[in-house]
Amino acid sequence: MPKEVDLAVAGAGPGGLYAALEALKRGLSVHIFEKKTVVGAPVKCGEYFPVRKEMERLLPSAGEYMNVFDIPIDAIDNTCKKLRVISPAGSEFEFDFEAFILDRTILEQTMAKEVERLGGTIELRKTVDLFMQDHAIHVGPNRTEGVTAKVVVAADGFPSKVAKSAGILTANYLTPNNVAINYEYLLTNLSIDQGVTEMYMGTEFAPGGYGWIIPKGNNSANVGIGIRTPYSRSNDGRNYLKFFLNGCPLSSPKLQGAKAGPMIADVLPVDGPLPTTCVGQVMAVGDAAGMVMPTNGGGIATAMITGEIAGQVSADHVQKGTPISDYEHKWKAVLGKEMRVSTRLRRMADHFMGNDFVFNILLHVLRTDGIRDVITCRAPKGLRPFIS
């Protein structure tokens, strides 16, 4: 007979681990499946994480969930004080914005140890799916291996296999325009300002997205690009990244002499949350639910918050019989407005992103304050009637 648990979680990233921790603290039995061989590695992320005071401004309704921004000191590689946006023509727009640059491996392994200390179990090297057996939810690699669960959290990234099987992720969302493909290196031996994160705009290296240099301290940085295929002349992201590193006059002079680790690639949803984030006894959190801020690509914080809410709802459902649909009501109350505004701004920006000349004009019209508003998921002053 399969093992029976209250909560099965697919994915041991920030969202899945937070769901597990919250459920364990409330007395549920929890089993996590993780497809990686080691929790937290390899990292497929820029590791940019705004500090608590910034998130209090960005998500003013998330007060009770601000604890997720209290990051262990040993999981912080660097702190950036400023964000600099570089237009396709090389104009710079810089503003104060403080963020930790994480070591996600340490962060997730610390959380995983706490899961196990509280009695949860983590099973590695397991890509899982949903199967219905005698009106029970079975989660596992097949119908014979795995667990049966009263509640399931899909935290298996994007596109989520579990969310798709549950009917949460549908073909309507999986359009090329809604998906960014990201390519990144960890570069060392760099001589760059370690206190400033940079975002680069331009169709020559990041069509439909942007390039980034995120300093990790000790003369290193996460350096990458995100593209969307409808804006690309070719779908060869490696060549776009190669140009950003070695040929782009805006970025390559800063990266000369750097040493690169292995290249990583990943896909992210960039059209806001899925229309539905829970079906039956299944909830999707983090990337699996489309919880990535479309105007900046940030997804760690939203994964943690939605994971914590899912863990609470799981416990309330199992112990009190409250409906799983509470999950959707709760996350919308916390970050629904900001997600909605960010999604509308990204869709509006799409009308300009295919032409560097026009996009450069847009950035100059917005100026620094407007650009800061867009990146932090607020409608710039002149656009508020159209966005709200």
Per-residue pLDDT at 134 exceeds 80: no
Among 98, 38, 42, 24, which residue's Cα sits nearest to residue 265? 42
Please report which confidence band the pLDDT of residue 388 belongs to, taking 50, 70 and 90 as the band edges.
Answer: low
Same domain, 188 and 263: yes
Position 2 scores a pLDDT of 80
Q: What is the pLDDT of residues 318-366, one digit of tens each?
A: 999 999 999 999 999 999 999 999 999 999 999 999 999 999 999 999 9
Residue-by-residue DSSP string for 60-117: TT-GGGGGGG---GGGEEEEEEEEEEE-TT--EEEEEEEEEEE-HHHHHHHHHHHHHH
Reduce the DSSP state of residue 59 to 3 states and report it. Answer: coil
Q: What is the pLDDT of residues 224-252, one digit of tens each?
A: 999 999 999 887 899 999 999 999 999 99
35, two tokens: 């497809």
Asked if residue 242 lies in contact with residue 185, where contact means CB atoms within 8 angstroms, the answer is no
What residue has token string 């727009």? 93
Residue 376 lies in a domain: no
Q: What is the mean pLDDT of the chain?
A: 95
Tell me, rounded to whole angstroms, the distance of Cα 74 from its chain centroid. 21
Same domain, 143 and 56: yes
CA gap 68, 291 in Å, rounded: 16
Of 162 and 380, more confident = 162
Per-residue pLDDT at 308 exceeds 70: yes
Residue span of the structural domain in which 330 resides: 3-71+104-174+270-343
CA gap 186, 46 in Å, rounded: 9
What residue has token string 């916390």? 334
354, two tokens: 């295919």
Residue 372 lies in a domain: no
Residue 360 lies in a domain: no
Please report which confidence band the pLDDT of residue 136 belongs to, taking 50, 70 and 90 as the band edges.
Answer: confident
Position 9 scores a pLDDT of 98
Burial 15-43 (b: 16+ CB within 10 A, else e): bbbbbbbbbbeeebbbbbbbbbeebbeeb
CATH of the domain at 250: 3.30.9.10
Residue 109 sits at φ, ψ, to 5 deg, of -70, -35
Please report which confidence band the pLDDT of residue 212 belongs to, taking 50, 70 and 90 as the band edges.
Answer: very high
Q: Give the contacts of 138 (CB within 8 A, at least 6 positions apart).
A: 2, 130, 131, 132, 146, 147, 148, 149
Per-residue pLDDT at 125 exceeds 80: yes
Same domain, 131 and 219: no
Instruction: Over range 170-195, report the average pLDDT.
Output: 95
CA gap 295, 34 in Å, rounded: 29
Please report which confidence band the pLDDT of residue 80 belongs to, taking 50, 70 and 90 as the band edges.
Answer: very high
Residue 355 lies in a domain: no
Instruction: Over range 368-374, report the average pLDDT.
Output: 95
Per-residue pLDDT at 385 exceeds 70: no
Same domain, 252 and 282: no
194, two tokens: 């370690």
Model-level pTM?
Answer: 0.96
CATH of the domain at 277: 3.50.50.60
Residue 161 lies in a domain: yes
Reduce the DSSP state of residue 377 to 3 states and report it. Answer: coil
CA gap 308, 54 in Å, rounded: 20
Per-residue pLDDT at 382 exceeds 80: no
Same domain, 63 and 157: yes
- Kindly report the number of other CB atoms within 10 A of residue 311's CB atom: 31
Same domain, 183 and 168: no
Q: Picking from 26-30, 231-235, 305-309, 347-351, which range would have the lowest pLDDT averaged per residue?
A: 231-235
Q: What is the percent of the chain with per-residue pLDDT over 70, rounded to a whole number?
A: 98
Same domain, 195 and 221: yes
Q: Which of 247, 269, 291 is the last residue of a domain?
A: 269
Same domain, 311 and 168: yes
Same domain, 168 and 194: no
Residue 306 lies in a domain: yes
Q: Which of 217, 245, 269 is the last residue of a domain?
A: 269
How many residues are there in the chain? 388
Residue 97 lies in a domain: yes
Please report which confidence band the pLDDT of residue 381 belongs to, taking 50, 70 and 90 as the band edges.
Answer: confident
CA gap 63, 308 in Å, rounded: 13
Same domain, 193 and 45: no
Residue 379 lies in a domain: no
Same domain, 157 and 295: yes
Overall domain count for the chain: 2
Q: Which of 326, 343, 360 is the last residue of a domain?
A: 343
Position 24 scores a pLDDT of 98
Using only C-alpha atoms, what is the Rg of the chain? 21
Per-residue pLDDT at 302 exceeds 90: yes
20 to each of 12, 29, 114, 117, 199, how far by Cα in Å? Answer: 9, 9, 10, 12, 34
Same domain, 242 and 321: no
